[in-house]
Structure 1
Amino acid sequence: MELDEQDAIEQRILNASIIHEGIDYSAYSLLQLASMAESEITGQSILQFQDSMRLQMIVIKSQIKHETTNDLNKLKVLLNTLYQEQGFSGDWKAFFEVKNALVSKVLARRKGVPISLGILLIEMLKETGFSAQGICFPSGFIVKVELEFDVIYVDPFNGELVSCKQLELKVRGQLGNHARLTAEMLNADSNEVIIKRYISVLKAAYIQAENIELALLCSDILLRLDPEDAFEVRDRGFLFQQLECFRLACNDFTYFIEQCPEDPIVNLLKQQIKQMTDEHSAQTIH
Structure 2
Amino acid sequence: MLGAREGFHGEPGDYARLESSLLHEVLRRRRGLPILLSVVWIEVARRAGAPVHGVALPGHFVVGLGEPGDVLVDPFGAGSLLDRTEAADLVERTTGGPLTPDRLSPAGPLEIVRRVLGNITAWATSRPERTDVALWAAELGLLLPSHPAELRRERARLLVRRGDYLEAAAEFERYAEVVEAVSGELAESVRAEARGARARLN
SS at match of 2:13: coil
**Residue equivalent to 2:87:** 167
SS at match of 1:89: coil
Q: Post-superposition shift, 1:95?
A: 0.8
SS at match of 2:76: coil
Distance in 2 (alpha carbons) for counterparts of 1:260 and 1:165: 44
SS at match of 2:64: strand
Amino acid at match of 2:120: L
- 1:25-51 C-alpha deviation (Å, 9 max, x unpaired): xxxxxxxxxxxxxxxxxxxxxxxxxxx
Q: Post-superposition shift, 1:85?
A: 3.9
| Aligned pairs (5 A) from 1:27-66 | none
**Residue equivalent to 1:199:** 117
Q: 2:142–2:151: 8 Å Cα contact kept in structure 1?
A: yes
**Residue equivalent to 1:7:** none
- Cα pair distance change 1:117/1:247, threshold 3 Å: same
**Residue equivalent to 1:250:** 172
- Structure 2 residue corresponding to 1:125, chosen from 45, 69, 72: 45
TM-score of the superposed pair, with normalisation by structure 2: 0.78
Q: 2:57–2:103: 8 Å Cα contact kept in structure 1?
A: yes
Of the structure 1 ranges 109-118 and 154-163, higher mean CA displacement relative to structure 2 is found in 154-163
> 2:135 aligned with 1:216, yes or no?
yes
- Cα pair distance change 1:254/1:104, threshold 3 Å: same
SS at match of 1:134: strand
Amino acid at match of 2:44: M
Q: Post-superposition shift, 1:136?
A: 1.9
**Residue equivalent to 1:23:** none
Q: Post-superposition shift, 1:192?
A: 2.1
**Residue equivalent to 2:61:** 141
Distance in 2 (alpha carbons) for counterparts of 1:258 and 1:181: 40
> 2:105 aligned with 1:187, yes or no?
yes
Distance in 1 (alpha carbons) for counterparts of 2:109 and 2:146: 18
**Residue equivalent to 1:152:** 71
TM-score of the superposed pair, with normalisation by structure 1: 0.57
- Cα pair distance change 1:283/1:125, threshold 3 Å: closer
Q: Post-superposition shift, 1:182?
A: 0.8
- Cα pair distance change 1:138/1:130, threshold 3 Å: same
The RMSD of aligned alpha carbons is 3.0
> 2:199 aligned with 1:281, yes or no?
yes
Distance in 1 (alpha carbons) for counterparts of 2:197 and 2:153: 20
Distance in 2 (alpha carbons) for counterparts of 1:189 and 1:255: 33
> 2:2 aligned with 1:92, yes or no?
no
In structure 1, list runs of 5 or more residues that go unmatched.
1-77
- 1:162-201 C-alpha deviation (Å, 9 max, x unpaired): 112211111111112xx11111111101122212322333
In structure 2, list runs of 5 or more residues that go unmatched.
none
**Residue equivalent to 1:50:** none
Q: 2:56–2:104: 8 Å Cα contact kept in structure 1?
A: no
Distance in 2 (alpha carbons) for counterparts of 1:193 and 1:85: 29
Distance in 2 (alpha carbons) for counterparts of 1:137 and 1:256: 33
- 1:207-227 C-alpha deviation (Å, 9 max, x unpaired): 555433343233222212235
Q: Post-superposition shift, 1:133?
A: 0.5
- Cα pair distance change 1:165/1:227, threshold 3 Å: closer
- Structure 2 residue corresponding to 1:239, chosen from 158, 169, 172: 158
Higher share of residues assigned helix: 1
Matched positions, count: 193
